[in-house]
Amino acid sequence: MERRKKRAHMVGIISILFLAFVVTYGASPALTAEPIRIGFMAPMKGPLAKPGEDLLNGFKLFWKQNGLEVGGRTVKILYADSACNPDTAMTQARRLIHAEKVDLIIGGLCGHVGPALAQVSRETGVPVLVMPGADELTKWDIVPTFVRLSVSASQIGHPMGDYLYNVLGARNVTFIGQDYAWGHGLTLGAAKTFKEAGGKVAKILWTPIGTADYGPLLASIPTDTDWVVANVVGADRLRLFNAWFNFGYDRKYKIAGGYWLHSDALFQLDDKAVDLIAQCNIYSAGLDTPENKAFVKAFIKEYKTVPSWMAEAAYTMGLFVKETIEALNGKLDDKMAFVDTILKVKVNAPRGPVSLDKYHNPIQNVYISKVEKVNDPVLGEIMINVPIKTYKNVSQFWTWNPKDFLAGGPYKR
């Protein structure tokens, strides 16, 4: 008797819950008119404030050009400052998801913010699309709702090693690499392909991010080195450049940038930078395609500066989001459907054709660029990166079989 009563209660509760579910679910088509809410998170303060601003500008330009409407719904973008602090990033992401009810989050730039956002994505099931980052999150530690849309570290490391050996003819190379996850991927990735081609790594000089003075470090370059490769970030790029020439190392060794003279650093360099190999990267502002020319022109008109690769990355994220939502006809309730769809989308970005692999990382061109002086109708005489070699459709696994690569484990020093 008691049992039956209990069961009756249970049935009652379940049917009420079901009813509630049906009511909310049935009501949701009416909500389609609600705007799509996108959270956008970038560092606005601290050492990475400038790339953060580039991201923001690139993203804003995209929506300005395309209008804030997609798949029959308006788009509302909610901005948040990650402050380059994973704690803040996580709290902000939770706020965006729980309090602002965003449908997806775009963000991450600082190394540790990527994993932090992945954590929130795992916790809430809300898709998180990030910009660059260390390798793990699209290789060994895949989160179902986490997608990277620009590049993983070793993806642009691998072609550099090939270029060093086969084009530059380098045989004994010293790498200057930064001692954190992103830097490890860049430098060890390049060292791996370089060694496989037959080259010898003379030494890898690991430096912490924020190395104030490169003078002391450069004295450790082995004297039999023929090429030095610079993989440095942030303020270190400029300090390495100054120390390199001020200590007269340009008379001793040849230097090539694997990840060094990006366009946001160029305006401060003098003529010594011209013709240096600047970077091996997924974007180069001097790329000669109609898509890129239109993008660069629009960006310069809007912000009076050459777009950095961060700006392009954010612009292309807008492109991906738009195509995906259109393919879904504006329905974003099913988060996994969103991820499945974005993995199938192919876009013609300013940086070239981009598609995603099943590990949630893009397949795209990688360009080796050098610094050139050009005349821009708006900005006058400027320095810009111009591609001198293109590696087409580079996967994060380079030419290897993904399974074999994954078996080898992450790049760790």
Partner 1 sequence: MVLRKWPLLFCAVAAALFAPLYLGPFWLSLLMQILIFGLLALSVELLLGHIGLFSVCQAAFFAVSAYTVAILQVKYGQPTIVAVPAGLGAAIILSLIYGIAVRTSGVYFILVTIALGHVFWGISWTWVSFTNGEGGITNVPAPAVGSLTITSHSSYYYIVLAVVALCVVGYRTLTRSPFGLTLRGIRESESRMRGLGYNIAAHKYTAFVLAGTLSGIAGLLYIYFNRFVSPANAEFFLSIEVALMVLVGGTGTILGPFIGSAIMLGLRNYVSAYIDQWMIVMGLIFIITMLWTPDGVLGVIRRLGVWGRTSHNQPGHRTPTPEEGK
Partner 2 sequence: MNWILQALNGFSLGALLFLLASGFTLTFGLLRVVSMAHGMYYLLGGYIGLSVVWFTGNFWLALLAGGSSIAILNYFVNRYLIRRTGENHLAQVLLTVGVVLILADIALTIWGGDSLSLPPPAFARGPIELPGNIFYPKYRFLLIVFGAIIGAVLWIFYRKTQIGAIVRAGVEDREMVNAMGINIDRLFTLVFALAAFLAGMSGVAGGAFLSLYPGAEWEILVLALVVVIVGGLGSLEGAMVGSVIVGLVDAYARWLLPEFSHFAVFAPMAVLLLFRPQGLFGKEA
| Lookup result for tokens 């293109």 | 390
Q: What angle do CA 356, 395, 114 make, to 5 degrees?
A: 65
Nearer to partner 1, 141 or 302 (CB): 141
**Residue 92 binding: pick among partner 1, partner 2, none (C-beta 5-8 Å cut-off by kind):** partner 1
Contacts of residue 115, defined as CB under 8 A and 6 or more positions apart, other chains included, come to 86, 134, 136, 137
Helix (H, G, I), strand (E, B) or coil at 157: helix
Among 124, 172, 207, 395, binds partner 2 (CB under 8 A): 207
Looking up tokens 């650093």 gives 265
Nearest Cα to 323, choosing from 62, 102, 77?
62
Task: Output 130 or 347, the one with its CB closest to partner 1.
Answer: 130
Q: Report the partner that residue 99 touches, choosing among partner 2, partner 1, none (CB closer than 5 to 8 A by kind).
A: partner 1
Which of 247, 303, 400, 405 is close enough to bind partner 2 by CB under 8 A?
Answer: 247
Q: Choose from partner 1, partner 2, none: what does 211 bind? Cβ within 5-8 Å by kind.
A: partner 2
Q: Which residues bind partner 1 (CB under 8 A)?
A: 44-45, 80-81, 83, 85-88, 90-92, 94-95, 97-99, 110-112, 115-116, 118-119, 134, 141, 179-182, 184, 208-209, 412-413
Q: How far is the CB of 57 from partner 2 (least distance, A)?
A: 12
Site string for partner 2, 127-166 (x = CB under 8 A): ----------------------------------------
Tell me if 288 contacts partner 2 by CB under 8 A: no
Q: Under rule CB under 8 A, which residues in 248-267 are in contact with partner 2?
A: 248-249, 251, 264-265
Asked if 387 and 369 touch (Cβ cutoff 8 Å), the reply is yes
Q: How many CB atoms lie within 10 A of CB 408?
A: 9
- State the pairing for strand pair 352-356/128-130: unpaired
- State phi, psi for 248 to the nearest 5 degrees: 70, 20
The pair phi, psi for residue 80, each rounded to 5°, is -145, 150
Choosing among partner 1, partner 2, none, which partner's interface includes residue 83 (Cβ < 5 to 8 Å by kind)?
Answer: partner 1
Nearer to partner 2, 249 or 295 (CB): 249
**Closer CB to partner 1, 32 or 119, in the complex:** 119
Using the minimum distance from each CB to partner 1, give the nearer residue, 36 or 116. 116
> Is residue 50 part of the contact set for partner 2 (CB under 8 A)?
yes
Return the number of the residue (75 or 265) whose C-beta is nearest partner 2: 265
Q: Which of 6, 9, 45, 344 binds partner 2 (CB under 8 A)?
A: 45
215 binds, among partner 1, partner 2, none (CB under 5 to 8 A by kind): partner 2
CB of 179 to partner 1, least distance (A): 5
Q: Smallest distance from the beta carbon of 191 to partner 2, in angstroms? A: 17
Among 15, 24, 74, 268, binds partner 2 (CB under 8 A): 268
Closer of 145 and 308 to partner 2 (Cβ): 308
Q: How far is the CB of 55 from partner 1 (least distance, A)?
A: 15
Smallest distance from partner 1 to CB 368, Å? 27
For partner 1, the closer of residues 71 and 185 by Cβ is 185
Of 217-246, binders to partner 2 (CB under 8 A) are 217, 219-220, 234-235, 237-239, 242-243, 245-246
Residue 184 contact among partner 1, partner 2, none, beta carbon within 5 to 8 Å by kind: partner 1
- The least CB distance from residue 117 to partner 2, in Å, is 21
Chain contacts with partner 2 (rule: CB under 8 A): 45-53, 179, 205-208, 210-213, 215-217, 219-220, 234-235, 237-239, 242-243, 245-249, 251, 264-265, 268
